[in-house]
Amino acid sequence: MNHILVVEDEDFLVRALKDNLTSEGYTVSVAMDGEAVFDELAKKKPSLILLDILLPKKNGFDVLKDIRSHLEYQLIPVIVLSNLGEDSEIKKALELGANDYFVKSQHPINEVMEKVKEYMQGKGSMKM
Amino acid sequence: MKLRTKAYLFFGTFLVVTAALVIFYAQYIAGDFFKKRTTDDFRIIAEMSESSYLSYLGSMKVRVLDWTSDNTIRQNAKAILSAPPNSAIRAKLADDFGAYVRTKKMPFDKTIIITDLLDRNGIVIASTKPERIGKNEGTEKKGDVETHNFNDAINSKFGEVFFGSIVIGEDESPEPTMNATVRLFDFNEHNDPEPLDAILLVYFENIRQVSESLSSGTGVYVGLQNETGRLTNDAFFQSYKTSEIYLVNRDRVMITHPREILVSGEPHPEVNTLPVRECFDNGKEISGEYDDYKGDRVLGSSMCFKDEGIVIIVEVDKKEVFAPLRKLIIYTIIASVFFIIVGIFALFIFLRQTIKRINDIVRVAMQVSAGKLDSRIGINTKDEIGYLGMIFNDMISSVHEHQKFLQVTKLAFEKEEAKDVAILENLGEGMVTTDNAGNVTIINRAAEKMLGWAKNEIIGKKFVDIVPCIDQDGTVVPPEKRAISMAIDSGVTSSFINAQLGKKNGDLLPIAAIVTPVIIDKKIIGAVSIFRDVTKERELEQTRRDLLSLASHQLRTPLSGTKWLIETLKRGLHGPLTAGQTEYLDQIYKINEKMTTLVHDMLGVLRMEGDTAMGKKEKVDVGLALDAVLGTLDGASRSKNITLSAPKGVKYTIETDSIILQNILECIISNAINYSPNGSKIEINIEKTPGELVFKVKDYGIGIPKDEQARLFERFYRASNAKTYDTGGTGLGLYIATMLAKKIGAHILFESEKDKGSTFFVHVPYFDEPLSKNEAHV
């Protein structure tokens, strides 16, 4: 159970995340738009979802809402990785059930990795 | 009552009173003086008459005494007394006596009519009228008074003569007669008188002479005519036509004629007047006013000889005495009437002019009051009325000028008002004014349109009741908390941008508003609320936020990608890096980081510049807020080994926006850290000044050059020494801090010296009383 779903539409970010996560020993599947999320979830249920907000076809808030209302996936921790830094957006994501929120440009990838490890080891706080 | 009537009454009364006073003076004061002086004069006349009378009596006495010294008479009397009674010789001797006296003595005095010789019993023993022999004259009485003083005479000494009362209608004569009795004396060898028992009784018919003596007075004052001329009896008779001097006897009958000698047979009037009564009853002499024997009012004076039964009376008809005075009074009355007529005439002349002038002023005043301000008074006299007219004209001119000015001002004012009304009417923003009870007085077209209420529906009604208000939290604001109520009740001006008003149709209208009290003469007379529909602004704001959000995302995405890719590379996931590669990657990473900060700050600035919302008002524990900031900066200060000293246990609580306050402090303190050398210190203090709380941040860093200090708060401005000292700055930190300060009503000041350090002061509004009372909503 060390599978992680990365929902991100930018290739270079997918690449950076995938490299780092793989190097930590996790398996990674990627959804490049909002609608692809549930296909990927269906293929393989992850232990953690890293979710971007601004996505083609269906935005991250809607995806988060759907996950949290889906019986099978609602308990999967979701860390939002977004460059939207407004208070209102962070607040909204947390209200919709995100477990954590990182403004990507302001945090080194190591910090993200550390947080991922916490969740994967079951130490991440589950704010449900 | 008209002025003219009043003046006539006043002056008329004055003149009449003056005339009355003059008459009163003449009648009583002068009259009394006159009377006194006259009666004093009369008294003198009476005294003088008395003297004349006494003088006349003296001459009679001399005559009678002279007879007693006649030897023939004496010897004859002795012979008669010694002759036997009823003898022939005695009769012969009596005849001789009578003949001798009749022929030898009486011819020398025509007033003597009878001479009797009486024995000691009063019996006539000889007489010039022989038929009288044998008569008893010693006891003759008139009424109960003796006619003669026989008893006194028979016992008298030598030289004494006794005069009897003047009598009328006795047997001796029909005319008033007077008698004198004297005792006869003989002389012995020593030539001493020896009394005989014989009395000589002499009758005088001398009223004419007595009258003459009374009316001439010359007997006393002879030789003194010049000095006493006014007071002689002649003068007295000449002065007064009604003047009278007369004698009254004991029978209270007038003996002498008042002015002339009584004609023989003329009746002697009875005189029972005041002086007669006073004399015979009380023995008093009087001077004064009384009714005379004719019943006329007279002024007179009396001399009383009570024993002799004679009163001398001097009197003048009062009318004659007072004639000059009456004349004076008549002249005074005529003069008074004359002066009254002349006075009234003069008054009429004077008043006619004066009243005409006053009427002119009144006429002009009425014209002026009717609005004819070009009327003027045409009086040029140099008196008070002329002066009044001049001042009145000046006053009218002044009023005219003022009225013109007022009209011009009024026109200008009306024009301005019309303009104001037009402006208000066409103002894009809604405007509602209320009176001090909160009732709507004016609502302009924009407000009508915005709220959905028509003027006639809302004017006169209480605005806070008709139009509800919902605050930013969605709560309905109670009427007493509404900004209009606060403005009227407490004079508070409020402005806000995030309330909603309830429209007539129930919809909510987002507004921004400012509500101000209307104060005239320090009294709040109402409130003005200006508000605008911010629906569009809110939409725009939303759009702008969305755009900013997107822009920030789009800018950050490549920066974050670069960052993460470099970090991934440096982790060696794709093989080890050479030293040169690592160095290059570090440089790229730094550039990327700077770019990230810049984007972050710029987006922050853009967000704030477009955001008009004021900071929140919440109770902020200053100590906790400062601790949070210091906590955030703990890592940065530690990395440079900088000591941060801050007050502990700060107890202040202020009403402000906590996040904004913290951001400002963070900016200031982090600047202090960034521009201080490793191992230095930063001192933070909090001071309370009236109305403010001042956060003081002092560092010992690079300082700010003097000539650059003025530009420090400009956007992107960095001091020259800062640029070289710390390359990571964007020049937006202080700019953002000042913008944030504005949102909470704070301001930032500093003092600095290059190479010595800087002190920044953040002044935050602070009130001892909580501000909750002043929270206000439209």
Interhelix angle B323-369/B384-426, nearest 10 degrees: 20
Is pLDDT larger for residue B104 or for residue B139? Answer: B104
Rounded CA Rg of chain B: 74
Put simply, the answer to whether B563 touches A105 (Cβ < 8 Å) is: yes
**Residue B259: pLDDT above 70?**
no
Q: How far is A63 from chain B (nearest CA, A)?
A: 18
The full set of domains in chain A, from first to last, is 3-120 (3.40.50.2300)
Tell me which chain B residues have a C-beta less than 8 angstroms from the C-beta of A104.
556-557, 560, 564
Phi-psi bin for B165: left (phi > 0), alpha (psi -120 to 50), beta? beta
Cβ neighbours, 10 Å, residue B731: 17
Predicted local distance difference test score (pLDDT) of residue B434:
92
Q: How far is B771 from chain A (nearest CA, A)?
A: 28
Please check whether residue A85 touches B, CB under 8 A. Answer: yes
**Residue B223: pLDDT above 70?**
no
pLDDT classification of B760: cutoffs 50, 70, 90: very high
CA distances from B393 to B67, B364, B373, B374, B401 (A): 111, 9, 10, 10, 12
Alpha carbons within 13 angstroms on the beta-carbon side of residue B743 total 25
Above pLDDT 70, what percent of chain B?
A: 93
CB contact set of B643 (below 8 Å; sequence gap of 6+): B637, B680, B681, B682
Distance CA(B310)–CA(B251), nearest Å, equals: 9
Mapping DSSP to helix (H, G, I), strand (E, B) and coil, where does residue A25 land? coil
Predicted local distance difference test score (pLDDT) of residue B740:
86
Predicted local distance difference test score (pLDDT) of residue A125:
46
- The backbone torsions φ and ψ at residue B237, rounded to the nearest 5 degrees and listed phi first, read -65, -35
**Residue B776: pLDDT above 60?**
no
pLDDT 10s digits, B661-672: 888 898 899 889
Tell me which chain B residues have a C-beta less than 8 angstroms from the C-beta of A17.
564
CA distances from B609 to B605, B716, B735, B740, B742 (A): 6, 15, 11, 10, 11
The kind and range of the H/E element at B495 are strand B494-502
Structure tokens at B44: 């003198």
Is pLDDT larger for residue B424 or for residue B116? Answer: B116
pLDDT classification of B697: cutoffs 50, 70, 90: very high
Put simply, the answer to whether A105 touches B559 (Cβ < 8 Å) is: yes
Put simply, the answer to whether A104 touches B560 (Cβ < 8 Å) is: yes
Predicted local distance difference test score (pLDDT) of residue B698:
93
Beta strands in B330-473, from DSSP E residues, in sequence order: 430-435, 440-443, 469-470
pLDDT classification of B62: cutoffs 50, 70, 90: confident
Beta bridge partners of B759: B698, B751
Please check whether residue A121 touches B, CB under 8 A. Answer: no
Contact B746, B664 (CB under 8 A): yes
Q: How many CB pairs under 8 A join A and B?
A: 68
pLDDT 10s digits, A18-37: 888 998 889 999 998 888 88
CB contact set of B73 (below 8 Å; sequence gap of 6+): B67, B97, B100, B101, B105, B184, B200
Tell me which chain B residues have a C-beta less than 8 angstroms from the C-beta of A60.
none
Beta bridge partners of B167: B177
Predicted local distance difference test score (pLDDT) of residue A30:
92
Predicted local distance difference test score (pLDDT) of residue B217:
46
The kind and range of the H/E element at B724 are helix B720-725
Nearest by CB: B560 against A15, A105, A110: A105
Distance CA(B661)–CA(B740), nearest Å, equals: 8
pLDDT classification of B325: cutoffs 50, 70, 90: confident
Average pLDDT rounded to a whole number, residues B481-509:
85
Tell me which chain A residues have a C-beta less than 8 angstroms from the C-beta of B567.
16, 108-110
Tell me which chain A residues have a C-beta less than 8 angstroms from the C-beta of B550.
54
Sign of the Cα torsion B265, B266, B272, B273 reads negative
Average pLDDT rounded to a whole number, residues B479-485:
86
pLDDT 10s digits, A52-104: 988 888 888 999 999 999 888 888 899 999 888 777 888 888 988 888 898 88
Contact A96, A61 (CB under 8 A): yes
Please check whether residue A13 touches B, CB under 8 A. Answer: yes
**Residue B221: pLDDT above 50?**
no
Residues 564-623 of B with CB under 8 A from A: 564-565, 567-568, 571, 573-574, 596, 599-600, 603
Is pLDDT larger for residue B472 or for residue B17? Answer: B17
pLDDT 10s digits, B397-414: 888 888 889 889 989 988
Average pLDDT rounded to a whole number, residues B302-322:
85
Put simply, the answer to whether B600 touches A85 (Cβ < 8 Å) is: yes
Q: How far is A71 from chain B (nearest CA, A)?
A: 32
**Residue B177: pLDDT above 60?**
yes
The predicted complex's ipTM stands at 0.84
Distance CA(B655)–CA(B765), nearest Å, equals: 8
Please check whether residue A104 touches B, CB under 8 A. Answer: yes
Put simply, the answer to whether B573 touches A20 (Cβ < 8 Å) is: yes
Contact B741, B664 (CB under 8 A): yes
Nearest by CB: B565 against A16, A23, A84: A16
Sign of the Cα torsion B748, B753, B754, B758 reads negative
Beta strands in B296-389, from DSSP E residues, in sequence order: 297-305, 310-317
CA distances from B615 to B279, B658, B660 (A): 133, 9, 7
Predicted local distance difference test score (pLDDT) of residue B339:
81
Sign of the Cα torsion B226, B227, B233, B238 reads positive
Residue showing tokens 């407004």: A86
Put simply, the answer to whether B564 touches A16 (Cβ < 8 Å) is: yes
Average pLDDT, whole number, for chain B?
Answer: 82
Predicted local distance difference test score (pLDDT) of residue B761:
93
B191-205, B221-235, B343-357, B631-645: least confident range? B221-235
Distance of CA B754 to the CA centre of its chain: 79
pLDDT classification of B710: cutoffs 50, 70, 90: confident
Predicted local distance difference test score (pLDDT) of residue B758:
92
Put simply, the answer to whether A105 touches B574 (Cβ < 8 Å) is: no
pLDDT classification of B601: cutoffs 50, 70, 90: confident
Distance CA(B55)–CA(B233), nearest Å, equals: 15
**Residue B609: pLDDT above 90?**
no
Distance CA(B614)–CA(B618), nearest Å, equals: 12
Rounded CA Rg of chain A: 13
B205-219, B338-352, B561-575, B659-673: least confident range? B205-219
How many secondary structure helices (H) and strands (E) does chain B include? 23, 24
pLDDT classification of A126: cutoffs 50, 70, 90: very low
Distance CA(A24)–CA(B668), nearest Å, equals: 41
**Residue B225: pLDDT above 80?**
no
Structure tokens at B730: 């964007």
pTM (2 d.p.): 0.41
**Residue B774: pLDDT above 50?**
no
Distance CA(B506)–CA(B654), nearest Å, equals: 38
